[in-house]
Amino acid sequence: MSATVSLAGLLSEEGMRDPFAFYAELHGHGPVCALDPARDRYHAVVHGFDAVERVLRDPRFRMLDGEYLVRRMGEVWQRRPSLRTLQNSIFFANAPDHPRMRRVFAQVFTPRRVAGLEPAIARLIERRLDRMAELGAGGRAVDFMTEFATPVPSDVIGELLGVPEDDRSWFPPRSQAMAAILEAGPDIWRHLSAADRAARELSDYFTELIAERDKEPRDDLISAIVELRRSDPGRISDEEVLANLVGVYNGGFMTTTHMFGNGLVLLLDRPAAREALLADRDVAADYVDEIIRYAPPVHFGVRWTTAPAEIMGVPVPAFGEVLVLMAAANRDPRRYPDPDVFDHTRPHAPSMSFSVGPHYCIGAALARLEGVLAFRMLFERFPNLAVAQPPEPADQLMFRGYRSLMVTVDC
C-alpha cells in the first residue's frame, strides 16, 4: 500500500526554493503516493520515472480540457480569454482534437524548417553577445536574463513564426502574465485578469499578422498555416490557429529562457565544464541534455480521469486529479545513477523534460539547437564569463528559473 503524503512541504517557501529535497523524500515512498484531495486538491502524486511515463502515455489520464473546467468552474470559464486560449491549443487538448491540431503544426513545424533556422539563430545570438559586450565593458555587471536569456529565444521563435523583429520585445511581459496562471498552488486565480488581458492582446496581434500574411505570404510558419487553411479550411478553426500561435510563442521562448539561465549557473559553478566546452564544441549537446534533466524549466503537469483508474497500486477515482512531477522523475534513483550529480557524461537516457507520448514537446529539437549554439558561442566569446552576484533562488515550479542573473563578461 502506497504512503499518503502531503504537498505542504513542496508548496512552502522552503519547498519552492529547493523542490528536489522534497522529491528525494517522495522517492523513498515509491513511484506514486496517495494524497488527500480535501487538503491537496489532487488524489495522487506521480514522481517515479516509469510511473510518470505510464501516466503521460495513458489516454485515460487527460489534459485539463474544457470538460474539466466545466466541472471545476461551470460555464463561467468560457468568459475568461486566457482559459479559452489555453483550451483551444494543442497544449491542453485531448483526442480527437489534439492529434488533429498537432498534425497541422507538425506539417509546418518540420525538422527541415528548424534546421534551416541555424544561421538565423547564430546571427541572433551574436547580436545579443555584442550587446552584452557593450554593456559589460569595463567590468560592469550585465543582467543575463534581460539581455540574453529572454530576448534570444523570443527572437528565435519570432523568426520561426514570422513576427517582425521590432515587435518581439512586446511579447515577454504578456507571455509572463499567461504563465502565471499555470503555476501550482492556490493563488493562480488572482492572476486571471492580467492573463485575460494578455490573451486578448496576443490574439489581436496574431489576427492582424495572419491578415498581413494572407495578402503577402513569406517563408515563415504563419504563412505556411495560412496556406494550409486556404487549401483545407476544415482542418483547424480560426480560434484554434490563434490559440496555438499564442501557445507556441509563449512556450517556445519561456522554457528556453530558463534553460539558458539555469544552465549558465550550472556550468559556471563547474569550471571543468566550461573548459570542456571550449576544448570540444561537440560536447555541447551532452551538456544541454544534462541541463534539462538536472534543472528543467517545467517541473510538473496535471492530469485528470473520467473513470476510476489505478497507478502502480494507487487508486484514482473518476474525475480525480493527479499531479505529475516530471522533474522528480528526472531525479529518480531507480532510473539514474547518482541522480543529484550533474554529469554530462552519463549514458544517454532521455529525461522527462520534454514529456513523452502524445504531448511530447513539439519544439524539442528547436530548444536543443538553441542550447547547443548559445552555450558554445557564449563561452567562445566570453571565456571569463562569471556570475557577479548570487542570484535569488527560483520560487516557482512552472517556467522555473531566475528573474535576474547578473554576470560580468570581462571582455
Q: Where are the domains of the chain?
A: 8-408
- Residue pair 222/210 in contact by the 8 Å Cβ criterion: yes
Residue 357 has pLDDT above 70, yes or no: yes
Question: Mean pLDDT over residues 195-221, rounded?
Answer: 96
Write the pLDDT tens digit of every residue in 217-247.
Answer: 999 999 999 999 888 888 899 999 999 999 9
**Angstrom distances, CA of residue 359 to CA of 61, 66, 90, 129:** 12, 17, 8, 34
Task: Look over the chain and give the mean of its residue pLDDT values, rounded to a whole number.
Answer: 93
| Measured distance CA(374)–CA(296) in Å, rounded | 17
Residue 187: pLDDT band (50, 70, 90) is: low
Residue 33 has pLDDT above 80, yes or no: yes
| Measured distance CA(177)–CA(194) in Å, rounded | 6
Sequence-distant contacts of 330-337: CB under 8 A, at least 24 apart = 330/49, 330/293, 330/294, 330/296, 331/20, 331/23, 331/24, 331/27, 332/27, 332/31, 332/47, 332/48, 332/49, 333/27, 334/27, 334/31, 334/48, 334/49, 334/50, 335/49, 335/50, 336/293
| Measured distance CA(263)–CA(126) in Å, rounded | 19
Question: Mean pLDDT over residues 386-398, rounded?
Answer: 93
pLDDT of amino acid 1: 52
pLDDT of amino acid 70: 85
Question: Mean pLDDT over residues 166-174, rounded?
Answer: 93
Query: Looking at per-residue confidence, does 202 or 114 come out higher?
Result: 202
> Considering only 32-36, 281-285, 310-314, 328-332, which range has the smallest mean pLDDT?
281-285
Whole-model pTM?
Answer: 0.95
- Ranked by mean pLDDT, the top range of 108-117, 228-237, 395-404 is 395-404
The single residue listed with the C-alpha cell 569550471 is 271
CATH T-level assignment (fold) for domain 8-408: Cytochrome p450 (1.10.630)
pLDDT of amino acid 186: 61
Residue 213: pLDDT band (50, 70, 90) is: very high
Specify which residues 387 forms β-bridges with: 407
pLDDT of amino acid 411: 61
Write the pLDDT tens digit of every residue in 115-146.
Answer: 999 999 999 999 999 999 999 999 999 999 99
pLDDT of amino acid 188: 67
Residue 212 has pLDDT above 70, yes or no: yes
- Ranked by mean pLDDT, the top range of 17-26, 173-182, 224-233 is 17-26
Write the pLDDT tens digit of every residue in 80-91.
Answer: 999 999 999 999
Query: In terms of DSSP bridges, do strands 320-324 and 309-311 run parallel, antiparallel, or are they unpaired?
Result: unpaired
| Measured distance CA(329)–CA(8) in Å, rounded | 19
